[in-house]
Structure 1
Amino acid sequence: MNKEFQLTLDDVGSNGNQNIETLFALANGFLGVRASLPIAEEGCNAGSFVNGFYETSDITYGENAYGYAKQHQTMVKLFDFRTIELKINDCDKFTLSSRQMNLDMGKGVLQEKYVYTTSLNQEVQIEIESFASHKNRSVYAQKWRIMPLNFSGTIGVNKQAVHIQPNKVREDDPRKKESSAALQIDEEKVQTKNSGQILYYRFDDYQSEKLVEIGEEISFVQCYEMSKTPLSSIKIDYEVMKEAQQTIFQDFWSISDIELEGNVQLQKGIRFNLFHLFSSAGRDGKTNFSAKGLTGEGYEGHYFWDTEMYLLPFFIFTQPEIAKSLLQYRRNILPKAKERASELGYKGALFTWRTINGEETSAYYPAGTAQLHINADIAYAFELYEKVTGDTKFLSSAKDVLYETARFWLDYGFYSKRGFELHEVTGPDEYTALVNNNYYTNQMAKNNLYYAVKLANQYQEYVEEAVDWKKAADAMFVGYDEEKKLTKQDDSFLEKEKWHFEQTPKEKYPLLLHYHPMKIYKYQVLKQADVLLAHMLFPRGVEQEKRDFDYYEPLTTHDSSLSKAIYGVVASRIGYEKKAYDFFKESAIMDLEDTHENANHGIHAANMGGCWLGLIYGFAGLRVEGEEIVFHNHLPKEFTSLKFRYLHKGNVQEVVLTQDEKTNGDFGSS
Structure 2
Amino acid sequence: MMDYTLGKGKYENWIVSETKFSPDTLGKCESIMYLGNGYMGLRSATEEPYLKEVRNLFVNGTFNKFGEGEVTELPNLADVTRIDIRIDGERFSLELGKTENYVRQLNLKNAELVRQFDWTSPKGKILRFRFRRFVSLENLHLIGMKMEIESVNKPVSISFDSGIDGRMTNSGSQHFLEGEKRIFDKQFLQLLQHTTESNVDVVINSAHQVTVNGKEIKNQRMHIDRRKIWLTFEAELNPGDKLEMEKITNVYTSIDRPFSEEGISFQQLRDVALQDLRDSLQIGYDGLFKKHVQTWEERVWNHYNLHIQSKDGFDLLSLRFAIYHLTAMAPAHDERMGIGAKALSGEGYKGHSFWDTEIFILPFFTYTNPKVARSLLTYRYLGLEGARKKAKENNYEGAMYPWEAAWPSDGEVTPVWGAVDIVTGKQTKIWSGFIEQHITADIAFAVYQYYQITGDQDFMNRYGYEMIFDTAKFWASRLEWDETHGRYHINDVIGPDEYKEHVNNNAFTNYMAHFNLQLAIKYYEKLQRENQSLLKQLNEKLHLEKAYPLWLERSEKLYLPQPNADLVIPQDDTYLQLKEIDLTKYKQSKKVGTLFLDYNLEQVNQMQVTKQADVLVMFYLLNQVEPFFNEEVKRANFHYYEPRTLHDSSLSLSTHAVLANDIGETELAYSLFRRAAEIDLGPFMHSSDHGIHAASIGGIWQAAVCGFAGLRLTGDQLSFHPRLPDHWEEMEFTIYWRGEPVLIKVTKSSLMIRTHNGKDIPLNVRGENMICHGELEIQL
Q: Give the TM-score, by structure 2 length.
A: 0.79
- Letter of the 1:429 counterpart: D
Give the CA deviation at 1:590.
1.7
Q: How does 1:433-582 map to 2 (within 5 A)?
A: 433-457=501-525, 458=527, 459-460=531-532, 461=535, 462=539, 464=545, 465-501=547-583, 506=589, 509-512=593-596, 514-539=598-623, 540-582=629-671
Contact kept, 8 Å, 1:426 with 1:432, in 2: the verdict is yes
Question: Equivalent residue for 2:74?
Answer: 75
Matched, 1:162 2:165: yes
Q: How does 1:104-115 map to 2 (within 5 A)?
A: 104-115=107-118
Contact kept, 8 Å, 1:565 with 1:587, in 2: the verdict is yes
Q: Residue 195 of structure 1: SS of its match in structure 2?
A: coil
Matched, 1:289 2:339: yes
1:97 is aligned, of 91, 96, 99, to 99
Whole-Å separation in 1 of the counterparts to 2:730 and 2:24: 32
Q: Residue 346 of structure 2: SS of its match in structure 1?
A: coil
Deviation larger for 381-390 or 457-466:
457-466
Contact kept, 8 Å, 2:711 with 2:722, in 1: the verdict is no
Larger radius of gyration: 2
Contact kept, 8 Å, 1:282 with 1:289, in 2: the verdict is yes
Give CA deviations for 1:365-422 in whole Å, capped at 9, x if unaligned. 5333311111011111111111111211122111322221111001111344453322
Contact kept, 8 Å, 1:14 with 1:593, in 2: the verdict is no
Contact kept, 8 Å, 1:257 with 1:271, in 2: the verdict is no
Contact kept, 8 Å, 1:436 with 1:491, in 2: the verdict is yes
- Letter of the 2:447 counterpart: F
Matched, 1:254 2:296: no
Whole-Å separation in 2 of the counterparts to 1:577 and 1:508: 25
Matched, 1:661 2:757: no
Deviation larger for 350-359 or 230-239:
230-239
Question: Equivalent residue for 1:241?
Answer: 288
- Letter of the 1:450 counterpart: Q
- Letter of the 2:656 counterpart: Y
Give the CA deviation at 1:182.
5.4
Give CA deviations for 1:119-167 in whole Å, capped at 9, x if unaligned. 2122222322221111221111112222222222432232112234447
Contact kept, 8 Å, 2:108 with 2:324, in 1: the verdict is yes
Q: Residue 535 of structure 1: SS of its match in structure 2?
A: helix
Contact kept, 8 Å, 1:635 with 1:659, in 2: the verdict is yes
Structure scoring higher RCO (CA < 8 A, sep ≥ 6) equals: 1
Whole-Å separation in 2 of the counterparts to 1:667 and 1:510: 47
1:639 is aligned, of 725, 728, 737, to 728
1:421 is aligned, of 465, 489, 493, to 489
Whole-Å separation in 1 of the counterparts to 2:592 and 2:510: 32
Give CA deviations for 1:23-64 in whole Å, capped at 9, x if unaligned. 21101112111111222123222222222323314565xxxx
Contact kept, 8 Å, 1:277 with 1:608, in 2: the verdict is yes
Whole-Å separation in 2 of the counterparts to 1:481 and 1:275: 41
1:351 is aligned, of 388, 401, 411, to 401
Whole-Å separation in 2 of the counterparts to 1:420 and 1:244: 58
Give the CA deviation at 1:667.
7.3
Cα RMSD for the two superposed structures: 2.6
Change over 3 Å in CA distance of 1:192–1:8 after alignment to 2: same
Whole-Å separation in 2 of the counterparts to 1:541 and 1:247: 48
Where structure 2 has 5 or more consecutive residues not aligned to the other structure, the ranges are 1-9, 182-190, 209-230, 255-268, 417-428, 624-628, 752-764, 773-780
Contact kept, 8 Å, 1:13 with 1:592, in 2: the verdict is no
Contact kept, 8 Å, 2:66 with 2:174, in 1: the verdict is no
Q: Residue 331 of structure 2: SS of its match in structure 1?
A: coil
Deviation larger for 113-122 or 293-302:
113-122
Give CA deviations for 1:603-649 in whole Å, capped at 9, x if unaligned. 11111111111111111222213442111111112211222111112
Q: Residue 725 of structure 2: SS of its match in structure 1?
A: coil
Change over 3 Å in CA distance of 1:570–1:179 after alignment to 2: farther
Contact kept, 8 Å, 1:414 with 1:421, in 2: the verdict is yes
Where structure 1 has 5 or more consecutive residues not aligned to the other structure, the ranges are 61-70, 168-176
Question: Equivalent residue for 2:203?
Answer: 200
Give the CA deviation at 1:269.
1.4
Whole-Å separation in 2 of the counterparts to 1:134 and 1:503: 44
Contact kept, 8 Å, 1:511 with 1:559, in 2: the verdict is no
Give the CA deviation at 1:10.
5.3
Q: Give the TM-score, by structure 1 length.
A: 0.91
Q: Residue 750 of structure 2: SS of its match in structure 1?
A: coil
2:50 is aligned, of 41, 44, 50, to 41
Question: Equivalent residue for 1:227?
Answer: 252
Matched, 1:385 2:450: yes
Give the CA deviation at 1:431.
0.6
Question: Equivalent residue for 1:360?
Answer: 412
Q: Residue 91 of structure 2: SS of its match in structure 1?
A: coil
Number of aligned pairs? 651
Whole-Å separation in 2 of the counterparts to 1:346 and 1:450: 19
Give CA deviations for 1:511-546 in whole Å, capped at 9, x if unaligned. 346532211111221000000000011232210001
- Letter of the 1:488 counterpart: P
Contact kept, 8 Å, 1:308 with 1:378, in 2: the verdict is yes
